[in-house]
Structure 1
Amino acid sequence: MASGLEIVDDKSPICIPFILGRIKEQQRIQQLNRKEHLGSDAGNRRPFVIGLNGVQGVGKTTLVGALAKTLQLEYGLETLVVSIDDFYLPHADQKALAAAQPDNKLVACRGEPGTHDMKLASAFLEAVTQGRPARIPQYDKSAYAGEGDRVPESQWLGVNGPGQRKVEVVILEGWCVGFRPLSPMAITAKWMGPSRTLQDHDLKDLEFVNWHLESYEPITAMFDAFIHIDAEDLEWVYDWRLEQEVNLIRERGSGMTHEQVIKFVDAYYPAYELYSSNLRQGVFADKLSCHLRIVVSKDRRVKETFII
């Protein structure tokens, strides 16, 4: 490729059968429930909600684009892809959060759990899953010299509106989607153990992020299935992010330096160190075979798959 960066989609052929199988099972359960409640509307089918997690640079954008296209065109399923990034706090609220926690580097800028507007995310997904009209929030990462800000609501696109097909599948993707809060004892144990970035932060600052992760739980509870694109070695995220910047410089003439890339990824990496091991065990406590974990090697190609 001219860009020098090739991400091969060898993941959607694995994900599509998994998704279709879970949708079929959901429909079977819904049909049984309708038979038990004779007055219900047989056509009122709740959208199927998928959470998708993958470290930065692993190829989430390529994957969700392929999944949406296949589900839409080949299987006729009206599919909506939403990014957790579009629920970042507005610029003013992010600045206020940073000012209220002046010594907490984890919330000095957008990124870690706690820097998203989860009330907005929950309200949006509740509307979509109930078949009501909703507008998709958008976030402009280039605003305020890269600090970012929410796009005015007047520019948000709508779904489930008059004349539009009802959304049948929702994919919520993001680097921290599916992360679940840990106990104080577990946070302390990880902080005291070997790590790349955790000891760069005060324990109370990690606990602050962990406390905010509680507000993400209502979203996780909405998932009918989960896909986790996992790296055999999490530290490859530094190399993958650097590759992206090298290509940006080649194509656009500007991008982050090597040192800036490390600093950028360091802002996210504590959450990887805290929550990835639990995520690998499965995001659901009460749903069997609903979590697909795909492990990739350094070239981002599939190495192993697990159904949890």
Structure 2
Amino acid sequence: MATPFTDDKSPICIPFILNRLQLHHQANASSSNPPPPPLIIGLNGLQGVGKSTLVGPLAEALERKGIPTLVCSIDDFYLTHEQQLALARENPENALWQVRGEPGTHDIPLLKSVFSSLLTHTPTSIPQYDKALFSGQGGRLPASTWKQVNQQQPPQNPLQVVILEGWCIGFRPISPEAIAAKHSAPSRTLQQHRLEHLLAINEKLGEYDDVTHLFDAFLHIDSEDTEYVYGWRQEQEDYLRLARGDPNAGMTKEQVVKFVDAYYPAYELYSEGLRNGLFTDKPGAQLRMVVGRDRKVKQVIEI
């Protein structure tokens, strides 16, 4: 049974965001092109930890304070279905690219283009992705369905905050030597993959840095134990069966393990770097919340 959602994170995040927003406005007070660019916030969290559920209350709380806010998900920037199939065909032995999820399966040029427009308050279309399309393989929806932002020029209520959330947001590539060392050490999933396949993922992750460099602040929902992700995902499937009244709905336990295993190598490779701090030049700009098995915050660390 899925654990009922209790929002104990918004009360922690809102004061942090308001402080970073005030500093952001002060830094842009002399800008010759008002309004200032929005504050860009990255949000990382393990699958099932509640990040997608958190961003709704966060945005609503900021809107109530008169702060126009936009939430985007990295999931909406997956490659098109055809592009994903092509990537899988071109790399048939790399299991990490046979399904969407790992670095390399997102449309980074599109992501960069969207954020370039958001930063200048110009008309922007936010792509939409449907994971249920193509028998669950997923696909990008037609451009006619994309969310329209800043269509009125100049914008009457320009965005002040943009939150980009996702399970791999903020991950940064590490050296090939570090990849090799982690691959040779005991781990849950890394030995399931050839070293060159992990190196290929790592190389692709470097393309994400152009977006990571845009972050003015960062929220990290971490866990006391990364392996909690398997239980959280299983709870989501159990809830799906209950909600639909269909005992055959959702993934089996074996399918859940296989599904999470496709993402887990990135946790093993890059979580340590994120815990050590994303920024070197912005002390206090990262908030790390460590949760327990019940998803409740046990520790808060400002980096």
Aligned partners of 2:295 and 2:105: how far apart in 1? Answer: 28
Write out aligned runs for 1:1-308 (5 A).
Answer: 4-31=2-29, 33-34=30-31, 40-41=32-33, 43-73=34-64, 75-162=65-152, 165-252=157-244, 253=246, 254-308=249-303
In structure 2, what residue type is equivalent to 1:125?
A: F
TM-score, normalised via structure 2 length:
0.96
The range that moved more, 83-92 or 282-291, is: 282-291
Is the contact made by 1:5 and 1:247 (CA closer than 8 Å) also made in structure 2? no
**Residue-by-residue CA offset, 1:35-67 (whole Å, 9 max, x unaligned):** xxxxx24x3211010000000010112210110
Is the contact made by 1:292 and 1:305 (CA closer than 8 Å) also made in structure 2? yes
In structure 1, what residue type is equivalent to 2:211?
A: I
In structure 1, what residue type is equivalent to 2:290?
A: V
In structure 1, what residue type is equivalent to 2:174?
A: L
Aligned partners of 1:285 and 1:256: how far apart in 2? Answer: 41
Is the contact made by 1:159 and 1:166 (CA closer than 8 Å) also made in structure 2? no
**Residue-by-residue CA offset, 1:68-119 (whole Å, 9 max, x unaligned):** 000011x111100000000000000000000000000000010101000000
User: Does the C-alpha gap of structure 1 residues 197 and 228 become closer, same or farther in structure 2, counting only changes over 3 Å?
Assistant: same
The range that moved more, 200-209 or 164-173, is: 164-173
**Residue-by-residue CA offset, 1:236-268 (whole Å, 9 max, x unaligned):** 000000000001011112110000000000000
RMSD: 1.1
TM superposition shift of 1:4 = 4.6
